[in-house]
Amino acid sequence: MPLHPHHDEDNTAEDLFAALRHAVLDGPGSTPSRVRHAVAAAKVDELNHELRGYVETLRENAWRSTDEQVRELLAVGWSEDQVYELTVAVALGAGGRRVDAGLAALARAETRLAAGAAPAGAVPTQSMPASVQATPVGAPEVRHAAA
Amino acid sequence: MRLPSLSRSWRFSDRVKLKIIRIASGRPPADILKILHYRREFFGEPFTAWVHQVLRGPSEWSVGERELMATFVSHLNQCRFCEGSHAAIVDATLGPDLTAAVLADWRTARLRAPLRAAFELLEVLTLHPGEVGPELVEAAYAQGVTEQGVRDVIHICGIFCTINRIADAVDFAVPDDKGLKGDAYQLLKRGYAIG
């Protein structure tokens, strides 16, 4: 897939995800941005009937999507380019839901720690045995995933 | 692939690039390459920049460990293409037995403690994102995972919960074993960003 190794260490993963979300939901496209936002947020009430089933399948059980579902969308007038945009928007909505939920949990954990509610058993990283400390950046790719 | 027009409309330089890949590999480019180069500004470029940073950028998780997480999330989402693609990279980096052990039951697989905590977070975040609370993050901290390490896990989950859905919606063909190994070699050598 990749042809140009590229490390842009000035951008955090959060920055890069925000840029992706902006490109997919707000960038130029063949579907209105409003529709892309609606499918990403799975606001099915705002969607045409023919889109609802497709969006719900992709969001919850994408492996169950079928040729027939795509054919039906094309048959009622959506172009392949539009189906592609909507597919990406639904998928990104599902991925973004995980990112947002994870970062919210992380923020709550940090707030609790700052308030002095460190969980029982929490041990500062520095005091962990070397065998369980974080792998140094650039460490050789040896089989250190196994205990 | 369900949307065949995505195999066209590439910019000229990408058509040349994909032709070279076809000649060098002796087989058509993988469906994911077609998607990533189709209107690349819309999805392929920003998506692969994110993926490359998370899977290949600086991290307390090794490349193999991050690929193992990618395989696990893809498995939970039942995406055969992504599971196979990233499992081949795990095989090449961490050995051929670990993926099978993790996918059979990560709780009994031989994993170091921080990685075990990461899998617990990944499982809940992938399957039940509404149920993720600070306890899972604190449990990871207790095993020595840093805040940035947790961020990396969260982003890996987000990346694969996105691309798994696209792969299944568009119905990416799953390469044979030889193809998966070839792709794994390239992904280890070159990374993900399409530039």
Element (H, E) at B74: helix B63-76
The set of residues, in sequence order, having a beta carbon less than 8 Å from that of A88 and lying 6+ positions away, is A24, B42, B43, B166
> What average pLDDT does this structure show over B31-55?
94
Instruction: Judge: B165–A147 Cβ closer than 8 Å, yes or no.
Output: no
A8 alpha carbon, distance to own chain's centre: 20
> What average pLDDT does this structure show over B116-142?
97
Please provide residue B34's backbone torsions phi and psi, each rounded to the nearest 5 degrees: -65, -45
pLDDT at A59 over 50: yes
Instruction: Judge: A59–B130 Cβ closer than 8 Å, yes or no.
Output: no
Give the nearest chain A residue to B33 (CA atoms). A1
Give the nearest chain A residue to B68 (CA atoms). A145
Tokens in use for A111? 């707030």
Q: Which of A44-53, A65-74, B60-69 is predicted most confidently?
A: B60-69
Please say whether the beta carbons of B82 and B160 come within 8 A.
yes
Distance CA A52, CA A69 (A): 11
Model's pTM, two decimal places?
Answer: 0.87
Q: Which of residues 66-125 of B touch A (CB under 8 A)?
A: 68, 77-79, 93-95, 98, 110-115, 121, 125
Distance CA B179, CA B26 (A): 10
Q: What is the pLDDT of residue A125?
A: 44
How long is chain B?
Answer: 195
Percent of chain B with pLDDT over 70: 99
Q: Which of residues 21-50 of A touch B (CB under 8 A)?
A: 23-24, 27-29
Distance CA B50, CA B57 (A): 10
Q: What is the pLDDT of residue B19?
A: 86
Tokens in use for A82? 């539009």
Q: How confident is the model at residue A8 (pLDDT cuts 50, 70, 90)?
A: low
pLDDT at A2 over 60: no
Give the nearest chain B residue to A55 (CA atoms). B169
B123 alpha carbon, distance to own chain's centre: 15
The set of residues, in sequence order, having a beta carbon less than 8 Å from that of B123 and lying 6+ positions away, is B72, B76, B106
Q: How confident is the model at residue B92 (pLDDT cuts 50, 70, 90)?
A: very high
Average pLDDT value for chain B = 94
The set of residues, in sequence order, having a beta carbon less than 8 Å from that of A23 and lying 6+ positions away, is B41, B42, B43, B45, B46
Q: What is the pLDDT of residue A118?
A: 56
* Interface ipTM: 0.94
Distance CA B157, CA B74 (A): 9
Distance CA A133, CA B147 (A): 13
* Whole-number Cα distances in Å, B53 to A31, B65, B66: 29, 15, 12
The set of residues, in sequence order, having a beta carbon less than 8 Å from that of A11 and lying 6+ positions away, is A19, B49, B53
